């Protein structure tokens, strides 16, 4: 039986079809590759977002832990002036103030951080610079003079092995700017009954992975003699600072809280 050879035109048509199939296959491969890369990028982005969020939350908890540690110790300090002048420090410290190299590669300088808090610059602050009126420090000569109080790795807060954190926390203490005595190194220098008597401000900053950095400021009031409060009363400082900037009334920490509501039947405002 004789086999018929394909004609030249048939061979040319088959070659053209093979070329088209190759182009289609390459386009499909490129499309699938692009979809795969997009999926990988989306997954890695979501992972980074989750990691950054987790790190940010851990930084917040680390700052709160530093504040809580300071608030446990401050009620036992008899001489508040010594605290405001930097003569008293916490038992939670990892050596003398200076540069620190954290396990995650972050480098800190505790002295420079203190200067930034007091005058916005890393070099030493003059009295004039610390008394300058700025948006963040609007109290002039009553601006807080932040003093290093506690600092160290979060892991050092509990016995070895009970914490696993790469975060480092720093806590400062300062006089409450509600006092208008013009001397932030003394508590109620006028010797009267100023609203800020016995009140101390605390500032905590936590540093950790992925560049995480959180800062908290609280106003802490020592309990009055015979007070049933266990150790301290406090309120977060950002809302208080905003109220001070607007010259609004500030609720004294630990004082009686008030509540107001509108009586719809009489149209009067009731304060409780």
- Does residue 38 form part of some domain? no
Q: Is the pLDDT of residue 203 over 80?
A: yes
Using the CB atoms, write b or e for 222-232: b if 16+ within 10 Å: beeeeeeeeeb
**Residue 44: predicted pLDDT:** 73
Cα–Cα distance, 97 to 146 (Å, whole number): 14
Cα–Cα distance, 59 to 54 (Å, whole number): 9
- Does residue 103 form part of some domain? yes
Q: Which residue has the higher pLDDT, 181 or 248?
A: 181
- Does residue 211 form part of some domain? yes
Q: Is the pLDDT of residue 262 over 70?
A: no
* Percent of all residues in the chain with a pLDDT value above 90, rounded to a whole number: 26
Neighbours of 258 (CB within 10 A): 8
Q: Which whole-number Å values give the CA distances from 162 to 10, 71, 154, 255, in the listed order?
A: 80, 21, 11, 37
Based on C-alpha coordinates, what's the Rg of the chain? 32
- Does residue 138 form part of some domain? yes
- 93: domain range? 46-254
- Does residue 266 form part of some domain? no
The length of the chain is 272
- Does residue 192 form part of some domain? yes
DSSP code for 3: P
- Does residue 93 form part of some domain? yes
Name the domain count of the chain: 1
**Residue 190: predicted pLDDT:** 61
Helix (H) or strand (E) holding 51: helix 8-73
Q: Is the pLDDT of residue 19 over 80?
A: no
Q: What is the pLDDT of residues 75-123, one digit of tens each?
A: 888 888 999 999 999 999 999 999 998 877 788 999 999 999 999 999 9
**Residue 54: predicted pLDDT:** 79
First to last CA, the chain: 112
- Does residue 25 form part of some domain? no
Cα–Cα distance, 35 to 25 (Å, whole number): 15
Q: Taking a C-beta distance cutoff of 8 angstroms, is the pair 172, 145 a contact?
A: no
**Residue 171: predicted pLDDT:** 96
């Amino acid at each position: 039986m004789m086999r018929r050879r394909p004609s030249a035109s048939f061979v040319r048509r088959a070659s053209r079809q093979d070329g088209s199939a190759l182009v289609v296959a390459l386009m499909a491969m490129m499309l699938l590759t692009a979809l795969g890369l997009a999926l990988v990028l989306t997954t890695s982005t979501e992972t980074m977002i989750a990691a950054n969020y987790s790190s940010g939350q851990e930084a917040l908890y680390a700052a709160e832990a530093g504040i809580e540690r300071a608030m446990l110790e401050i009620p036992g300090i008899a001489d508040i002036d010594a605290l405001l002048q930097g003569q008293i420090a916490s038992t939670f410290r990892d050596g003398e103030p200076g540069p620190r190299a954290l396990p995650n590669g972050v480098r800190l300088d505790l002295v420079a951080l203190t200067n930034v808090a007091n005058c916005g610059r890393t070099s030493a602050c003059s009295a004039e610079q610390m008394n300058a009126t700025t948006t963040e420090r609007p109290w002039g000569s009553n601006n807080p003079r932040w003093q290093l109080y506690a600092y160290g790795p979060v892991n050092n807060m509990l016995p070895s092995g009970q914490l696993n954190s790469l975060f480092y926390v720093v806590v400062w203490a300062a006089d409450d700017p509600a006092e208008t005595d013009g001397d932030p190194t003394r508590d109620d220098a006028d010797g009267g009954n100023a609203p800020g008597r016995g009140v101390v401000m605390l500032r905590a900053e936590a540093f950790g992975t992925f560049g995480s950095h959180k800062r908290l400021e609280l106003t802490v009031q020592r309990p009055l003699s015979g007070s049933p409060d266990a150790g301290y009363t406090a309120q977060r400082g950002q809302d208080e600072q905003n109220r001070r900037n607007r010259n609004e009334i500030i609720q004294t920490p630990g004082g009686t809280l008030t509540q107001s509501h509108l009586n719809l039947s009489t149209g009067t405002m009731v304060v409780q």
